[in-house]
Structure 1
Amino acid sequence: MAENYKMAKAGKAGISRRSVLLGGASLLAAASILPSRAFAAGPGTNPGKYKIDLGGYTGPELTDAPITIKVMRQEFSPEINAPIEAAYTAFKEAYPNITIEEERVPYGDLAKKVQLYVASGSAPDIMMGSTELASVYAAGEIAVPLNDYFSADFIQDIYPAMRDAATIDGKVMCLAWESNSCFVYFNRDIFKRAGVETPPEVTDVDGGWTADQLLDAMRAITEKLRKEGDQTTFGMASSRFGNRGPGSNYSQLEGMWVRMMGDPNAPKDSTLFKTFAGISEDGLTASGYLDTPEAIQGMKNYQAMFNEGLTPKGVVVDHYKSGAAAIDFSSMAFANTFRKSGAPFEWGVSPPIRGNIPFASSVADAPFIYSGSQYIPEAAALLAFLLNDTNRRAFYDVRGSMPSRKSLTDESPAYKTDPVAILCANVGERAFGSPKSVGWLDYVNAVNPAVKDIALGVDVEERLHSTAAQIDRLLAKYR
């Protein structure tokens, strides 16, 4: 199977990988056709099919020859690394001929490392990627389509937005590692001190504050605190996403201010729909999508937080967790951290804020299998083993994040009884993936600096128009 895949790509994959991932010349269309599955496995387990429970894997039995599978992923703290290391040990007990070599890199370096490896023509068999880059992996033939190595039931079990984001022309390019959809966290003590009503603590995604209500609450909090002489506590926490601070992560955080002003159910030729879409259907035009009247208003709302001193213009480490900010956006991991380690204040959660729609991003870390791997079935089997029910439960127990597969949340009592977990699952059901574009790296590399400039006070309308035009020029090479 692996040999068939590699032969289908011989002589053409290298240049397309480089050009797409590094933002270069024209693309090559995917050409390989993989053999059909031997059988269907269940969502998360297939006991008796192989020497060990390989989760949703449906490929051939693994080689008995001595081989080495290389894995690159982000570094975690020791307690989170532990269940992954334990999974490797269990895999090697079943397949002692397979050596696993792992490279761990700082989270912020992952995308760059993938780019460098792909450009070199030699890369680890499994690399941690992201659902937002699935179009890049597909167009550049960088990743192996996973449909023929994983059961349809396993893939269908992934929360819809993350599954859809990873699927290009029916091919699943990567598998979401965990769910990171964000909602509102608030510091109850700061609200009480300022005499401001807290956000609604409901599990209905449609029940959160509007953007205007959020801004009004932060204004009231800031005014009260400043009158008391408190110059260090803010309404909104400094962003901890990406490289931190404004303009750090459009995909997961700041893009919500724009896309919430749109509507996925509006007519496709309307500015409401285009605002939500963020880019044209072919993924090659940003003008008329990133800079609609609704998008401009959304970024004016974002800019107001900085112009009015409701949030810092620079980076404040652990701003919300330290108790110096009234509101932050985060995922289930925050709640689990507070519950395990404690928090220096009373906290609560509320649904994502709303424009025309409540908006939360479903961008997720997502491992993929490098198309240049010599051992594609074995890499797929190892990835499936890491993602089987037992190993995922062990990981989520220490990580504190929400599972990417619905069956694992459905089996957990917390997602039936704990309001925070219930809200998290509801947000996961309603979240949205990033706009799909083969030039998504070009897009975010252009829009992140624009967001930072907007935070620092430039004219919103002018900056969005110029950024959309810039993105159009960057994407022209993919036509």
Structure 2
Amino acid sequence: MKMRLLAVCTALAAATALTGCSRSAGSAEGAQKVTLWLMKGSASEDFIGKFTASFEREHPGVDLDVKIQEWTGIGEKVNAVLAGKSSESADVIEVGNTQVAQYIEAGGLSELTLEGLREWGNKDWLKGLSDPGSINGAQYGIPWYAANRVVIYNKDLFASAGIKTPPKNRQDWIQATQKLDKGDQQGIYLAGQNWYVLSGFIWDEGGDLAVETSGQWTGTLDDEKALAGMEFYKQLQALGDGPEDADEETPPQSEVFARGHVAQIIAPPGQAAAIEAANPALKGRLGFFPIPGKTSDKPGAVFTGGSDLIIPERTKQRARAVDVITALVSETWQTELACTMSYVPNKTTLAHVVDGNEGAASMAPGAAQGRATPKSARWAQVEAENPIKPYMTAVLTGQDPRQAAKAASDAITKVLNADR
């Protein structure tokens, strides 16, 4: 999931993303080499250069070696390092927040609970980053940065409909979208299988995708609260011409929006760059607002994408690895990363640092309410088979919601409890 979200939310930074940025020079004689793996596109070359120079200046005798990794095949590479079966080594590794559970289950991670409590301000962490990085109260993944979906809207179409301010609750959102849905103009383009968006609506209702009890998982799409989230999705999706049997990439929703006849889409704000590239006439005409919640006092829940930082248990540089994380999660470098890459910082108390960036600022309120997928090492298999998508299509095409939800829930239950 991390791969999919960042592919769009880092579009503005893609031009500066590294294709490879390990230090070409060998370690200085006698220096302690500390290796940091970062994922391609997560940080700009300028950020990495500045951070490396600063870290080495503040830690004399340390050679920080930053190696850029591709998302394809990264799970196998990380697992090999954790198991001590790789010719490569790493002391700190950036991983997708929803990937941490599988690494915890595989073993080989260093527990970082004490450091998190003492140095890294865990009480203010975004829950969508911190929760996937912990198990039974022990913290293994340390939040680094977040990105999430917002509503991207066409300012001209809103103005023509007499909508002066973005809606802040579901009722106002539906009413505004109904005004915008007229003639050949779509109030919103929402593909029928955008289950990331559905997840937020379910969480707003107090439901979930799956729950764990005494080590056993149960899919819960057929819970009354989850069904209420799907009902709202159906109501909103009907106010446009989004396909009922495809996701947001089929076709890419940014391309549809760029044609100028769609008032809103739900997407990471980085998609604005792709929209403007496809239709330069929309440059400066796009706005952003948090996905509205059930009431105006807080925004809707969202799926939180982003990264955590982990330390392999086998590292020979644990103290220095802790120093690297301490620096990366400090206010100075959180601010630098957020402003450079249009991310949300890892703490709610740092949300203000992106106030000058309309897109990133629109993510911050939702990020504070954000969540991640069920904390199971087998959730990746659920996504691969993805019974949620056909369930959504079934409901949108008039099939019985309860029966369709029960079938999807049973499929989720089966996958999550495999080999137990």
TM above 0.5, yes or no, is yes
- 1:402 offset after TM fit, Å? 2.3
SS in 2 for 1:285: strand
Output the amino acid matched with 1:88. T
Over residues 38-59 of structure 1, what are the superposed CA-to-partner deviations in whole Å (9 max), with x where a residue is unaligned?
Answer: xxxxxxxxxxxxxxxxxxxxxx
Structure 2 counterpart of 1:327, from 234, 242, 264: 264
- 1:182 offset after TM fit, Å? 3.5
Output the amino acid matched with 1:121. K
Output the amino acid matched with 1:208. N
**Partner Cα distance (1:308, 1:85) in 2:** 47
- Conserved in 2, the CA contact under 8 Å of 1:279 and 1:290? no
> Does 1:89 find its partner at 2:53?
yes
SS in 1 for 2:201: helix
Output the amino acid matched with 1:209. R
**Partner Cα distance (1:372, 1:139) in 2:** 16
Structure 2 counterpart of 1:382, from 314, 324, 327: 324
> Does 1:188 find its partner at 2:155?
yes
The alignment's TM-score, normalised by the length of structure 1, stands at 0.64
**Partner Cα distance (1:407, 1:295) in 2:** 31
**Partner Cα distance (2:408, 2:79) in 1:** 24
Tell me which residue corresponds to 2:169: 208
Tell me which residue corresponds to 2:17: none
Output the amino acid matched with 2:263. A
Tell me which residue corresponds to 1:474: 415
* Cα 1:282–1:365 shift into 2, 3 Å: farther
Tell me which residue corresponds to 2:233: 302
SS in 2 for 1:291: coil
SS in 1 for 2:302: coil
- Conserved in 2, the CA contact under 8 Å of 1:219 and 1:310? no
**Partner Cα distance (2:344, 2:181) in 1:** 33
- Conserved in 1, the CA contact under 8 Å of 2:391 and 2:405? no
What does 1:12-23 correspond to in 2, within 5 Å? none
* Cα 1:408–1:400 shift into 2, 3 Å: same
> Does 1:454 find its partner at 2:392?
yes
**Partner Cα distance (2:122, 2:111) in 1:** 15
- 1:280 offset after TM fit, Å? 3.0
* Cα 1:354–1:407 shift into 2, 3 Å: closer
Output the amino acid matched with 2:38. R
SS in 1 for 2:170: coil
- 1:129 offset after TM fit, Å? 1.7
Tell me which residue corresponds to 1:223: 182
* Cα 1:407–1:221 shift into 2, 3 Å: closer
**Partner Cα distance (2:342, 2:77) in 1:** 26
**Partner Cα distance (1:304, 1:114) in 2:** 42
Over residues 297-349 of structure 1, what are the superposed CA-to-partner deviations in whole Å (9 max), with x where a residue is unaligned?
Answer: 4334435666775324422263477364322334576799999x995253444
Over residues 368-420 of structure 1, what are the superposed CA-to-partner deviations in whole Å (9 max), with x where a residue is unaligned?
Answer: 1223334333322223223333332222221122211244345x4x65x9998
Output the amino acid matched with 1:256. G
Structure 2 counterpart of 1:152, from 76, 101, 118: 118
Output the amino acid matched with 2:374. P
SS in 2 for 1:73: strand
**Partner Cα distance (1:219, 1:365) in 2:** 37
Q: Which structure 2 residue ranges, 5 or more long, are not aligned?
A: 1-28
Over residues 90-135 of structure 1, what are the superposed CA-to-partner deviations in whole Å (9 max), with x where a residue is unaligned?
Answer: 33454445351402325x7655654676678336333222333443
**Partner Cα distance (2:324, 2:209) in 1:** 35
Count of aligned residue pairs for this structure pair: 373
What does 1:307-386 correspond to in 2, within 5 Å? 309-312=240-243, 313=246, 314-316=250-252, 318-319=254-255, 322=258, 324=260, 325-330=262-267, 344-355=283-294, 358-386=300-328
What does 1:71-220 correspond to in 2, within 5 Å? 71-76=36-41, 80-93=44-57, 94-106=59-71, 110=74, 114=78, 121-122=85-86, 124-150=90-116, 152-156=118-122, 158-161=124-127, 162-193=129-160, 195=161, 197=163, 200=166, 207-210=168-171, 214=173, 217-218=176-177, 220=179
Structure 2 counterpart of 1:257, from 184, 198, 201: 201
**Partner Cα distance (1:332, 1:172) in 2:** 30
More strand by share: 2
Tell me which residue corresponds to 2:11: none
* Cα 1:455–1:146 shift into 2, 3 Å: same
SS in 1 for 2:408: helix
* Amino-acid identity (%): 14
- 1:186 offset after TM fit, Å? 2.0
- 1:142 offset after TM fit, Å? 4.0
Output the amino acid matched with 1:126. V
**Partner Cα distance (1:196, 1:449) in 2:** 40
**Partner Cα distance (1:137, 1:342) in 2:** 46
* Cα 1:151–1:321 shift into 2, 3 Å: farther
The alignment's TM-score, normalised by the length of structure 2, stands at 0.71
Output the amino acid matched with 2:252. V
Tell me which residue corresponds to 1:242: none
Output the amino acid matched with 1:388. S
**Partner Cα distance (1:332, 1:109) in 2:** 27
SS in 1 for 2:36: strand
- Conserved in 1, the CA contact under 8 Å of 2:269 and 2:360? yes
**Partner Cα distance (1:131, 1:186) in 2:** 28
Q: Which structure 1 residue ranges, 5 or more long, are not aligned?
A: 1-63, 202-206, 227-233, 239-244, 263-274
**Partner Cα distance (1:83, 1:279) in 2:** 39
Cα RMSD for the two superposed structures? 4.1
> Does 1:286 find its partner at 2:218?
yes
